[in-house]
Amino acid sequence: MPIDVTVEDHIATVVINRPEAMNSIDPEMREQLHGLWDRMREDDGIHVAIVTGAGDRAFCTGSDLKKTMPPKESFAELLFGRNKPGNMMDRFGTDKPLIAAVNGYAVGGGLELALACDICIASENARFGLAEVRIGSIPGSGGVQRLPRTVSKSNAMLMLLTGDQIDAAEACRIGIVSKVVPLPELMPAAQAIARRIAENAPLAVRAVKRLVLQGMEMPLPSAIELDRYVWGLLRDTEDRIEGRKAFAEKRKPRYKGR
């Protein structure tokens, strides 16, 4: 299968599994990604997910150009008629944290996928780029907007307008990734982060993610007011009471997500 998903201890591990094609995205994989985004929202057994690529050469290299020629239908027909323009990030959106573990090339749609995740770590052999201008296109899955929201405008423009790639060290310096580790340590590092997240109160984790994403688009006073409202919503939850009891009793909390 192009996308392999396993769930253990509330952690979903998502492997983009087309190593023979540098984990590029074909139509079947795109449909599976749409299903994955739906599952992330609906499956209460998943608290956090790690996304990575099979093998050690590529995280994801974007669309498989050999299998994703332009459709016969017009874009207007797909967008307004079927509401299905074919973007791999269609239906994307969840309050559950996503961690990108980038092993090798993350270019085109692969970098767009990594940028859509909440935390990104990389192996030392990772490389990043958005080269769509070189083939007469633009990063159509959110890269144009997410990259300058992740790094400075100048660094984003440098990558977007030249199509040049950068290595893992430079990606860490400008803020695309949080940390760089040797390739054998990549998944253990991602799993350690995921476990620490999964151990926390799930409603609080999801609330923090939603507040960060919504607050970045709001004036600061409005965002702080929204924080106060959500704090009030969480104040009387069973998990918040359990967290305080566990702290007082010097034990690990047993959160139930309610």
Q: State the catalytic residue, choosing from 8, 132, 185, 225.
A: 132
The helix (H) or strand (E) run that includes residue 230 is helix 220-235
Spatial separation of the C-alpha atoms in residues 111 and 163, rounded to whole Å: 12
Q: State the catalytic residue, choosing from 8, 31, 73, 112.
A: 112
In 3D, which of 108, 117, 107 has the Cα closest to residue 36?
117
Active site residue 185: no
Spatial separation of the C-alpha atoms in residues 88 and 238, rounded to whole Å: 37
Active site residue 132: yes
Long-range contact set of residues 200-204: C-beta below 8 Å, sequence gap at least 24: 200/255, 201/237, 201/239, 201/240, 201/242, 201/243, 201/253, 201/255, 201/257, 202/10, 202/47, 202/239, 202/255, 202/257, 203/234, 203/237, 203/239, 203/257, 203/258, 204/234, 204/239, 204/240
Long-range contact set of residues 177-180: C-beta below 8 Å, sequence gap at least 24: 177/102, 177/120, 177/121, 177/122, 177/126, 178/119, 178/120, 178/121, 179/121, 179/122, 180/121, 180/122, 180/123, 180/124, 180/126
Spatial separation of the C-alpha atoms in residues 181 and 84, rounded to whole Å: 38
Positions annotated as catalytic residues are 112, 132
